Amino acid sequence: MSFKIAIIGAGSVGFTKKLFTDILCVPEFQDVEFALTDVSEHNLTMIKAILDRIVEANKLPTRVTATTERREAISGARYVISCVRVGGLEAYAEDIRIPLKYGIDQCVGDTICAGGILYGQRNIPVILDFCKDIREVAEPGAKFLNYANPMAMNTWAAIEYGKVDTIGLCHGVQHGAEQIAEVLGAKNKAELDYICSGINHQTWFTDLRLNGRKIGKDELIAAFEAHPVFSQQEKLRIDVLKRFGVYSTESNGHLSEYLPWYRKRPDEINKWIDMSDWIHGETGGYLRHSTETRNWFETEFQQILDSASQPIDANRRSNEHASHILEALETNRVYRGHFNVKNNGVITNLPADAIIESPGFVDRFGINMVAGITLPEACAATCISSINVQRMSVHAAVSGDLDLLKLAVLHDPLVGAISTPEEVWQMVDEMVVAQARWLPQYAHAVEGAKDRLSRAKVKTRDWKGAASRNVRSIEELRVEKAAMKQAG
């Protein structure tokens, strides 16, 4: 069978290569056309060379094109996959650095909290541009598969305002299940069955079965506490498990940002954080990791290109949802996964308009969600706090309403546990001014924000965070980038 897949943000070399090889593991998809698009022509050139090598080595009829003209890539596509980061590391650095001046310590900052909300403000106008192109030039009924964070906000905007058939995809559920399988001593991942439901990055394993045997709270706690690594790296998640009765999908560092209890006091943060790897809660950990590894594909390009000559091995197909969804839709081979869609009653105790992440089945007729799930009350309460922030953030991003944006940040659980309204108002002004070139919807408000900042009364601090190794500023990134460019 032949159809077209457009990948926006294809310059994310490693992830694009994974999606590509996963899809080609489906025998019926060997005649597919992949249209790659990115703002970086350099990255596009590299990823196209890698994918062309895979096609050549495997003697496939697959076609690969690459263009910086997004609309051209989307034209005629049946599926459009997005994995973009608007503003790159330069904007992301400000998502972490500026809130730190106001005492808000983030590990990742890409979902909610101050950083995640501003990330959404940058992404949503661009997501809506993608949707416009999909409506106008893609194959009628084309599906939009969004991998980009903030997942819930991007998907919400694409469905409510973009009017495109959109599915949000993440791998947090799979990673959490792998941890649980390991601590329970499963010989392979297939021995563990589970129901996991909630919202993206706050999804909860409400039912666990190991070889058909139900696993209770006490057994799971004991298994995690006995594990020599996870008992140290996942202290916060284990504490939440003890109090809520269910395990969360998200990493220790991620989860700590969504709750108002663990990162609000500098003297308490280190109690819950493990510094063996950034993902366990390091201040600005993902920014540091991304900065230090952002050119890995440059330094390892030849090695990646050489490895692309190897035969595609279907046994090494990843558990990323995209290829499995496409396979189910096109071949009617049923796939069960966890998808981000509008709730509409699927989870009984979350708002109907929320973007949930919950189990569903895919076949030729589309995604069929498992309805009638009720979360434990504490899980629902935690999710609803984030949903309220997401809703305001999406509406602010679409309308360019700076006051609504400030109210969204004010209502964020962690921000609200730390900052006063006056501090939030000044912090958001500072973030909007710093990121103005990526926030066209707030252009009318930038001069007013600058004026207020010139008369600012709130004192900020030079604080690197309670669990920090190094949080780099946007200026450091710019200087380094300029030096690299000059060196060729």
Taking the mean position of all CA atoms in its chain, how far away is CA 232? 25
Write down the H helix ranges in 227-295.
230-233, 235-244, 252-258, 266-272, 285-293
**Cα–Cα dist 76/138, whole Å:** 4
Q: Which of 79, 247, 258, 442 is catalytic?
A: 258
Burial of 188 (0-12, 13-18, 19+ CB in 10 A): exposed
**Cα–Cα dist 473/475, whole Å:** 5
Taking the mean position of all CA atoms in its chain, how far away is CA 424? 24
**Cα–Cα dist 345/488, whole Å:** 55
Burial of 211 (0-12, 13-18, 19+ CB in 10 A): exposed
Look at the block and give the residue holding tokens 């500023």.
473
**Cα–Cα dist 240/315, whole Å:** 35
**Cα–Cα dist 334/328, whole Å:** 5
User: Any catalytic annotation for residue 171?
Assistant: yes
> Catalytic positions, please?
171, 258
